[in-house]
């Protein structure tokens, strides 16, 4: 019996419970609804909840704890001698797991019966060949002791599943009878059902918190791993980035930080003036018709996926800058450059800056404009000397948010900035960023335990801390500013 | 304004220097605004133009029409029409059949070929063609012995020649194509044996290897993206709505809910690649889910979309006026009944609009998918759900990235074409969102 089927059974029993509970509630008052505390449906719901929820919780807990317990047991049975040189307990364990899966597949294809499996012996039969038939490829020949462990592991799993099924079904039925027995006319069924719904709602809002916890834990944990293999001084104080597959890499973060900041700086240099001026024009000058056309058009820019901007950088902007600026001036020969990525990222950020600034400028009270006009100021003087100073904190917040976007942006720099880690001032040279290196270190065929791969997590943590700090400051500034005029 | 010049004369008809300067400054400022808007509009136009200009070609492909006699002796040596036995004939065998058919077709059309040019002409056909013919025959063994009209892909270079990417001059330097071959191609086109047709395989077919750009398609990527969107929709809509209802309607104002709120606002601004790292560390390394599977991509995108959905759902819950709640509470509904029977249905159009926009964002997301292994080259279509959620698949934006990483310039066209498909999907989703908003959203 599989876990999915068990789940279906629990839900089916609970659904049955809904009908029974509703019926029982109606029967308890001979169909006279007025004497019930809640509507009959709530009695059904209360039965459903009390039947399904405990059973599902037991199942969940079981599925979480079972692997830990069983694997501990299996590890204790693996003889230290059967762990080959260069291997580790976890590798042997994963072999055991895959062998057990392969045996299951053999049984499923009915080429073997349970008895045959028990009789299989790694010394006499070609276990590796048999397992390869069902798509389980093992690296080396099978150690008989490990194979015996795999067989035992499989049996334990089967027993555990059987026990779990029994326990879950028992809990389901117990819940069903218990909740049915509680149904009386004055039973507060609606309160039970509503409390359960509230619990569900709280659990859902918890997902967002769990995501953050997950992000922080995975980053911190793997970064800690990284720093056990690679010295923190080498990471934080070195200006050389030169990963090698055979070890002995230099993994200094500074060239990457420099590339990231340089690209982001150019992007802000493009997007902030354009976005801000566009927002001012739309908010203060544009007629209704212009606004109705331009505003959605700018928002289209915001809806375009970043991979499209990346391709734009790669096939249009990059070659254009190289052929008309960098090559004639003799300052660069590569189509991917800081300038390419920065320009395109700037275009991407225009709508971001403009829509945020637009909101902020619109939030400046009309009375301030009227006061300024009343004193004889022109429109541009009003904008420059009254509205912008009043909106400044909000605009700074918007720029910080845009900066955090720029720092975390990936696809544009992957396709537009290049892959060479360099500390250079020339914007027409290819440089690389933190995000590019995260992608390249984690998408290659590298071994997961090596510092060259794990460095991606340290880079990720750096990126997360950077952007988080910017966001927190920006959100604080924006919120503070909003309160000022509300 | 100075008081030292008491005799200065002001005229209403003639502006003084200072006024003129101020007015000029005003006009300049206005102009800056117009320039800024023009630049952004031009950027948008250029972006769309580049994509359309490069990508529309991908939908039309050069095909070669050949009459192929399916020789039973070669394709079914056992003579039993048994599919298992016929599978022993490899694509090389089918290549020979195609070559024979090609020679006959050319002779019929009156294009002269000698022994050396037959090889040349055969190379005009995509390397994918024998496999296609093989699949067609294996799917329908009765075809053997008949002569079928076979429409084969022309090779990438020939296709590029008809689309202007390859010229006689560049063919001179190219080891994959020669001017003589292109001359034959021209002749075949004149005789109607070769031509551009709409290429369904680009949209429906699987990806092809680096050397066969003409056969590369988006089918697997579209299915992968569709699976992921399904997972995102099924998970993030209920979760997001439930979380928003709690935060908006039930949560007491205390430290704890404040923490959740700040947390959601920050999650919305976390770089997408960090979610990819999360997916890699938690879903793949810790939970042991398979790499490049839509289920992992779907989960990661769900977590990314959740803040978007929560923010928009809360806004639409907030916009339902308190009078509705008061009326429901007044006739004796419980708080839960008020929300689920009255507030939520009224907020639904806004929630759905926000969800669709969140989905559209998720559809275009690339970076996190790169980290969870969706870059892998996948040719096999995933099975139908739910098993298919665990099969390797690609995703549309990742497929674009994949195309850009390949050397053959024909893949630039493919990448842009894939973007057009992606943008069409986004356009449809956003249009649906706008229609929903227009038709159902109420202003109170």
Q: Are strands B60-69 and A241-242 parallel, antiparallel or unpaired?
A: unpaired
Residue A16, pLDDT above cutoff 90: yes
Residue B38 domain-assigned? no
Q: Note whether B260 contacts A205, CB cutoff 8 Å.
A: yes
Residues B189 and B337 in one domain: no
Interface subset of B 58-97, CB within 8 angstroms of A: none
Give first-to-last CA distance, chain A, whole Å.
61
Residues B226 and B347 in one domain: yes
Q: In the numeric block, which tokens belong to residue A143?
A: 């150690």
How many other CB atoms are found less than 10 A from the CB of residue A471? Answer: 24
Q: What is the pTM of this model?
A: 0.87
Distance, CA of A179 to CA of A7 (rounded, Å) = 20
Distance, CA of B11 to CA of A110 (rounded, Å) = 105
In a 13 Å sphere around the CA of B302, the CA atoms on its Cβ side amount to 25
Residue B27 domain-assigned? no
User: What domains appear along chain A, each with residue ranges and CATH number?
Assistant: 3-91+143-187 (no CATH), 241-485 (1.10.3720.10)
Q: What does the pLDDT read at residue A356?
A: 87
Confidence of residue A112 (pLDDT cuts 50, 70, 90): low
Q: What does the pLDDT read at residue A201?
A: 92
- Which ranges of A32-143 would DSSP assign to H, the alpha helix? 40-77, 89-108, 114-119, 127-133
Contact in structure between A416 and A336 (CB atoms under 8 Å): yes
Residues B378 and B230 in one domain: yes
Confidence of residue A87 (pLDDT cuts 50, 70, 90): low
In a 13 Å sphere around the CA of A451, the CA atoms on its Cβ side amount to 20
Residue B2 domain-assigned? no
pLDDT by residue, tens only, chain B of 444 residues = 555 655 666 677 888 888 889 999 999 999 999 999 999 999 999 999 999 998 888 888 888 888 888 878 777 777 777 777 777 778 888 888 888 888 888 888 777 777 667 777 788 888 888 888 888 888 888 888 888 888 888 888 888 888 888 888 888 888 778 888 888 888 888 888 888 888 888 888 888 888 888 888 899 999 999 999 999 999 999 999 999 999 998 988 888 888 888 888 888 889 999 999 999 888 888 887 888 889 999 999 999 999 999 999 999 999 999 999 999 999 999 999 999 999 999 999 889 989 999 999 999 999 999 998 888 888 888 888 778 888 888 999 999 999 998 888 888 889 999 999 999 999 999 999 888 888 887 766
Distance, CA of B379 to CA of B381 (rounded, Å) = 7
Q: What does the pLDDT read at residue B7?
A: 60
User: Residue A80 contacts by C-beta under 8 Å, 6 or more apart in sequence?
Assistant: none
User: In chain A, whose CA is at the least distance from the CA of B401?
Assistant: A307
Q: Note whether B364 contacts A273, CB cutoff 8 Å.
A: no
Instruction: Give the mean model confidence (pLDDT) for residues A266-284.
Output: 94
Domain count, chain B: 2
User: In chain B, whose CA is at the least distance from the CA of A63?
Assistant: B287
Average pLDDT of chain A to the nearest whole number: 85
Cα A246 to Cα A161, A438, A446, A455: the distances in Å are: 44, 19, 10, 15
Residue A13, pLDDT above cutoff 90: yes
- SS3 labels along B330-365: HCCCCHHHHHHHHHHHHHHHHHHHHHHHHHHHHHHC
Contact in structure between B342 and B273 (CB atoms under 8 Å): no
Residues B263 and B409 in one domain: yes
Residue at a domain's end among B198, B230, B252 = B198
Residue B275 domain-assigned? yes
Three-state secondary structure call for residue B65: strand
User: In chain A, whose CA is at the least distance from the CA of B250?
Assistant: A198
Residues B237 and B160 in one domain: no
Q: What does the pLDDT read at residue A48?
A: 93
Q: Which comes out higher in pLDDT, residue A147 or A465?
A: A465
Residue B286 domain-assigned? yes
| Distance from chain centroid for Cα B253 | 43
Domain of residue B129: give its range.
60-198
Cα A329 to Cα A322, A332, A333, A342, B247: the distances in Å are: 10, 8, 10, 19, 58
Residues B145 and B229 in one domain: no
Q: Note whether A442 contacts B371, CB cutoff 8 Å.
A: yes
- Please report residues of A whose CB lies closer than 8 A to that of B35: 277
Contact in structure between A230 and A469 (CB atoms under 8 Å): no
Residues B344 and B400 in one domain: yes
Instruction: Determine if residue A258 is left, alpha or beta; phi over 0 gives left, psi from -120 to 50 gives alpha, anything else beta.
Output: alpha
Residue B137 domain-assigned? yes
Q: In the numeric block, which tokens belong to residue B144?
A: 């053997």
Query: CA nearest A306: which of A439, A166, A441, A428?
Result: A439
Residue at a domain's end among B137, B165, B198 = B198
Instruction: Determine if residue A368 is left, alpha or beta; phi over 0 gives left, psi from -120 to 50 gives alpha, anything else beta.
Output: alpha
Residues B249 and B123 in one domain: no
Contact in structure between A208 and B260 (CB atoms under 8 Å): yes
Contact in structure between A386 and A372 (CB atoms under 8 Å): yes
Confidence of residue A83 (pLDDT cuts 50, 70, 90): low
Contact in structure between B150 and B101 (CB atoms under 8 Å): yes
Of the ranges A79-83, A141-145, B93-97, B219-223, which one carries the lowest mean pLDDT score?
A79-83
User: Residue A422 contacts by C-beta under 8 Å, 6 or more apart in sequence?
Assistant: A255, A259, A429, A430, A431, A432
Interface subset of B 320-379, CB within 8 angstroms of A: 334, 336, 360, 363-367, 370-371, 373, 375
Confidence of residue A100 (pLDDT cuts 50, 70, 90): confident
Mutation to test the B interface, candidates A34, A212, A318, most B Cβ within 10 Å: A212
Residue B45 domain-assigned? no
DSSP string, A22-47: HHHHHHHTTT-GGGSSS-HHHHHHHH
Residues B249 and B107 in one domain: no
DSSP string, B268-296: TTS-HHHHHHHIIIIIIIIT-PPTT-HHH
Q: Name the percent of chain A lying above pLDDT 70.
A: 88
Q: Which long-range CB contacts under 8 A does B42-46 form with residues at least 24 apart?
A: B43/A301, B43/A347, B43/A350, B44/A297, B44/A298, B44/A300, B44/A301, B46/A316
Residues B369 and B398 in one domain: yes
Residue A345, pLDDT above cutoff 80: yes
Residues B262 and B385 in one domain: yes
Residue at a domain's end among B198, B228, B263 = B198
Confidence of residue A80 (pLDDT cuts 50, 70, 90): low
Query: CA nearest B178: which of B199, B195, B201, B161?
Result: B161
Residue B181 domain-assigned? yes
Confidence of residue A61 (pLDDT cuts 50, 70, 90): very high
Q: Residue B338 sits in a domain of what CATH number?
A: 1.10.3720.10
Residue in this structure with the two tokens 């579209």, named with its chain if needed? B222
Residues B191 and B323 in one domain: no
Number of H helices, E strands in chain B: 20, 3
């Amino acid at each position: 019996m599989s876990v999915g089927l068990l789940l279906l059974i629990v839900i089916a029993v609970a659904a049955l419970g809904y009908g029974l509970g509703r019926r029982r509630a109606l029967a308890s008052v001979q169909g006279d609804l007025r004497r019930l505390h809640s509507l009959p449906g709530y009695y059904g719901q209360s039965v459903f909840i009390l039947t399904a929820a405990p059973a599902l919780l037991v199942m969940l807990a079981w599925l979480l704890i079972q692997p830990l317990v069983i694997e501990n047991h299996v590890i204790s049975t693996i003889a230290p001698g059967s762990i080959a040189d260069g291997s580790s307990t976890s590798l042997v364990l994963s072999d055991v797991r895959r062998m057990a899966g392969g045996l299951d597949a053999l049984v499923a294809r009915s080429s073997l019966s349970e008895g045959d499996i028990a009789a299989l012996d790694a010394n006499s039969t070609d276990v590796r060949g048999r397992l390869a038939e069902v798509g389980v490829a093992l690296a080396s020949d099978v150690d008989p002791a490990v194979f015996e462990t795999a067989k035992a592991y499989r049996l334990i799993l089967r027993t555990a599943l059987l026990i779990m099924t029994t326990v879950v079904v028992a809990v389901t039925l117990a819940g069903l009878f218990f909740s049915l027995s509680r149904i009386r006319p004055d039973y507060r069924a609606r309160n039970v059902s509503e409390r359960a719904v509230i619990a569900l709602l709280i659990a859902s809002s918890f997902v967002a918190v769990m995501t953050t916890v997950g992000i922080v834990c995975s980053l911190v944990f793997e970064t800690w791993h990284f720093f056990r293999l690679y010295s923190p001084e080498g990471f934080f104080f070195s200006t050389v980035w030169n990963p090698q597959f055979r070890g002995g890499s230099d993994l200094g973060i500074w060239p990457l930080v420099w590339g990231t900041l340089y690209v982001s700086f150019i992007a802000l240099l493009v997007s902030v003036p354009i976005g801000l001026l566009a927002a001012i024009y739309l908010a203060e000058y544009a007629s209704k018709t212009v606004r109705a056309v331009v505003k959605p058009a700018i928002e289209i820019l915001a809806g375009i996926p970043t991979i499209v901007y990346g391709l734009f950088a790669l096939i249009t902007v990059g070659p254009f800058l190289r052929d008309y600026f960098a090559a004639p001036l003799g300052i660069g020969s590569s189509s991917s450059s800081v300038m390419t990525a920065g320009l395109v990222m700037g275009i991407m950020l225009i709508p971001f800056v403009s829509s945020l600034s637009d909101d902020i400028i619109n939030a400046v009270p009309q009375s301030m404009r009227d006061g300024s006009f009343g004193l004889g100021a022109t429109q541009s003087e009003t904008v420059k000397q009254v509205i912008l100073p009043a909106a400044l904190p909000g605009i700074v917040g918007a720029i910080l948010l845009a900066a955090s976007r720029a720092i975390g942006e990936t696809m544009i720099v992957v396709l537009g900035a290049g892959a060479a880690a360099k500390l250079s001032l020339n914007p027409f040279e290819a440089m690389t960023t933190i995000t590019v290196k995260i992608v390249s270190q984690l998408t290659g065929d590298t071994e997961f335990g090596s510092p060259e791969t794990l460095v991606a997590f340290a880079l990720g943590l750096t990126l997360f801390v950077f952007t988080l700090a910017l966001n927190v400051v920006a959100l604080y500034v924006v919120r503070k500013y909003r309160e000022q005029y509300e | 304004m100075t008081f030292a010049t008491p005799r200065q004369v002001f005229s209403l008809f003639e502006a003084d220097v200072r006024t003129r300067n101020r007015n000029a400054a005003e006009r300049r400022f206005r102009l800056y605004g117009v320039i800024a808007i023009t630049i952004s509009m031009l950027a948008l136009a250029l972006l769309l133009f580049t994509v359309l200009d490069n990508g529309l070609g991908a939908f039309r492909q050069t095909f070669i029409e050949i009459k192929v006699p399916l020789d039973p002796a070669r394709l079914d040596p056992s003579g039993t029409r048994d599919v298992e036995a016929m599978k022993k004939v490899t694509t090389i065998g089918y290549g020979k059949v195609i070559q024979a058919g090609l020679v006959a077709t050319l002779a019929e059309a009156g294009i002269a070929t000698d022994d050396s040019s037959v090889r040349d002409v055969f190379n005009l056909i995509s390397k994918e063609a024998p496999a296609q013919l093989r699949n067609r025959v294996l799917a329908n063994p009765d075809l053997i012995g008949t002569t079928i009209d076979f429409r084969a892909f022309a090779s990438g270079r020939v296709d590029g020649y008809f689309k202007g990417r390859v010229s006689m001059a560049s063919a001179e330097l190219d080891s994959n194509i020669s001017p003589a071959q292109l001359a034959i191609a021209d002749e075949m086109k004149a005789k109607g044996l070769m031509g551009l047709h709409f290429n369904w395989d680009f949209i429906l077919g699987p990806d092809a290897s680096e050397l066969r750009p003409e056969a590369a398609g988006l089918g697997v990527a579209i299915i992968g993206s569709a699976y992921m969107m399904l997972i995102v929709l099924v998970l993030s809509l209920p979760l997001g709505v439930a979380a928003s209802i709690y935060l908006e309607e039930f949560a007491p104002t205390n430290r704890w809910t404040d923490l959740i709120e700040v947390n959601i606002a920050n999650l919305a601004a976390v770089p997408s690649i960090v979610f990819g790292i999360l997916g890699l560390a938690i879903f793949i390394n810790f939970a042991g889910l398979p790499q490049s599977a839509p289920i992992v991509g779907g989960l990661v995108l769900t977590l990314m979309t959740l803040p978007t959905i929560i923010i928009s759902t809360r806004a639409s819950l907030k916009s339902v006026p308190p009078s509705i709640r008061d009326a429901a509470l007044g006739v004796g509904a419980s708080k839960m009944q008020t929300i689920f029977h009255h507030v939520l249905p009224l907020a639904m159009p806004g929630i759905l609009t926000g969800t669709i926009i969140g989905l559209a964002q998720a559809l275009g997301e690339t970076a996190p998918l790169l980290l969870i292994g969706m870059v892998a080259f996948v040719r096999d279509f995933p099975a139908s759900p739910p098993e298919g959620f665990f099969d390797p698949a690609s995703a549309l934006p990742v497929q674009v990235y994949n195309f850009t990483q390949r050397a053959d310039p024909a893949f630039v066209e493919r990448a842009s074409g894939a973007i057009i498909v992606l943008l069409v999907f986004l356009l449809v989703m956003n249009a649906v969102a706008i229609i929903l908003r227009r038709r159902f959203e109420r202003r109170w």
